[in-house]
Chain A
Amino acid sequence: MPPLTDGEIVKRTLNADKEAFASLIERYESKLTRYLERLGVGAREDKEDILQNSFIKAYKNLNSFDQSLAFSSWIYRIVHNEAMTFFRARRVRPQVFMDKESEILLTELKDEEADTAAVAELRISKEELAKAFVALEPRYRDVLALRFFEERSYTEMSDILEVPVGTVSTLVHRAKQALKALLPESFSYDGS
């Protein structure tokens, strides 16, 4: 028997089957944990608290879930909002551990540059990139994480961030520019 879809699990939960909700949590727990790590939530307890609060909120608001949306976009939206609240309330410095993520980002930034010869000579360490990424504003860190690490489409990001698709495109562009501006001078090769 094929596994239930997210929408079917939501319907079951709303029909008083709380245990069905548990399977949704298990389905998304690891993805969302990784998403929080990429946003800069380092401590295990903080991640657990944010995820618990997010799923409680999702349960309370399950009747507001728009079936035309993907459930993943909806739950990402809730986790995103909870994470932003966490950063605002705690004012903690984000901790981001980037390994594969550094490669992804660097590839993306290089692909944008027109001067291929200069790109080939570029040397940026993972530490430099991680440092720059952490220093970004939370909203820019968020869009880069969603786009390049979580591999969300612009439409999904529009549903997660609750902004028009055009705004998502603008935010991604600005985030990349902001990241480049924070990288060491070796990344700016306009003659230097």
Chain B
Amino acid sequence: MTDPNNHYLSKRVLDRINEEHIAPRPRWEFLFKNYAFWGLSAAAVLLGSLAFAAALYVIQNADWRFAFATHPNLFSFVMDVMPYIWLVALGLFISLAYLNFRHTRRGYRYPILLVSLGIVIGSTVLGGVIYAAGLGEKVEEAMGILPPLYQPLKQQQQSWWVAPEKGLLGGTIVDIESEDSFILEDFEGRQWTIKSEDMYAPGGRVKEEIVRVIGVPATTSAEFHACFIRNWKGGHGGSGSSGGERGRNEGEDEENRGKREDMTQSMRSERSSVEVRSEECKGIRPYRQLRELEESGE
């Protein structure tokens, strides 16, 4: 080896190493750091995918069919349902994933665009899988533990359908009084007498069914004149089902389901003309769109 005494810089460096007892940091420290950045990057991709799954759930289950009933126009509906927090979270996690990847041992070598695209694709594809597995709803609802930061979609939709002053009521049928009326307990626990004589097939509803009722705006009394009644579908606000894909209420027994299906069938066969409904009903705001929904059988 060369004699460091002839080289000033190398002598100074070695002297300092000896005086300060400097030693190379152990290899495991660097390995740990590298794996930690990889792990953090992967965790950020996973969290991003959860955010994407939740955003997908919100967009898919936002009840677009009744947007015209609950909101004055489509724009205001979109503004209400847009999953801002999930999209912001997705963006944040994608950024974190990128930053952590860049700090891995060789992460700097890869083009920014390629890395970013890979992370976005990874988060969205994995998010799609998570959503398809039915977990999007669970993630979305889990955020509801942070009020008032976030109101889960279910609660938001229920709040839209407890607006009797706008002619909107949603809730559970707790009693059938007659062919022309039944008792509905809305999502806030208040009970209403629903007058359903304006329905094509009055009655045809069963107890514990969860429904949405559109009718004449009510202000003071606990009576509500119904013009359209639709099944809540997907079980929002009631027992059981998730994902918005199923067309019946969970917990509905065979007898009730059979009765409801018979009535639905008779409603279609009895449908004749708009003159059947009262003038009061024809005057409600989304009348045309509701008739179209009815015609389509949704």
Q: Tell me the A residues contacting B by CB distance below 8 Å.
A: 13-14, 18-23, 25-26, 29, 48, 51-52, 55-56, 59-64, 66, 158-159, 162-167
| CB neighbours of A59 from chain B (8 A) | 13, 17, 22, 24
Query: Least Cβ distance of B38 to chain A in Å?
Result: 15
Given A19-B1, A164-B109, 20 further pairs, Cβ under 8 A: A18-B17, A19-B14, A20-B1, A21-B13, A22-B7, A22-B10, A22-B13, A26-B7, A29-B7, A29-B10, A51-B9, A56-B13, A56-B16, A59-B22, A61-B30, A66-B105, A159-B109, A162-B108, A166-B111, A167-B111
Interface residues of B (CB under 8 A from A): 1-2, 4, 7, 9-14, 16-18, 22-27, 29-30, 105-106, 108-112
Contact in complex: A63, B7 (CB < 8 Å): no
Contacts of A61 in B (CB 8 A): 24-25, 30
Q: What is the total of A-B residue contacts with beta carbons within 8 Å?
A: 85
A56 touching B22 by the CB < 8 A rule? yes
Q: Interface of chain B, helix or strand or loop or mixed?
A: helix
Contact across chains for B2 and A26 when beta carbons are under 8 A apart: yes
In the complex, which of the residues A19, A51, A164, A166 contacts B4, with contact meaning CB atoms closer than 8 Å?
Answer: A19
A63 and B1 contacting across the interface, CB-CB below 8 Å: no
Q: State whether A56 and B2 are in contact (beta carbons under 8 Å apart), knowing that A25-B9, A62-B24 are contacts in the complex.
A: no
Chain B residues lying within 8 Å of A29, measured Cβ to Cβ, are 7, 9-10
Q: Are B110 and A63 in contact (CB under 8 A)?
A: no
Q: Are A52 and B4 in contact (CB under 8 A)?
A: no
CB pair A63 B105 closer than 8 Å: no
Q: A51-B9, A60-B25, A66-B105 are in contact. Are A22 and B112 (CB under 8 A)?
A: no
Which of B9, B14, B17, B30 sits near A63, CB closer than 8 Å? B30
Q: A56-B22, A164-B110 are in contact. Are A25 and B10 (CB under 8 A)?
A: yes
> What residues on A are CB-neighbors of B111 within 8 Å?
164, 166-167
CB distance from B192 to the nearest CB of A (A): 65
- Residues in chain A near residue B105, CB distance under 8 A: 66
**Chain A, residue nearest B108 (CB):** A162
* Nearest residue, chain B, Cβ from A17: B1
Residues of A within 8 A of B26 (CB): 63
Nearest B residue (CB) for A33:
B9
A48 and B8 alpha carbons, distance in the complex (Å): 10
Which residues of A sit under 8 angstroms from B24, Cβ to Cβ? 13-14, 59-63
A23: B residues at CB distance < 8 A:
1-2, 10
| A residues near B27, Cβ cutoff 8 Å | 63-64
User: A86 to nearest B CB, angstroms?
Assistant: 16
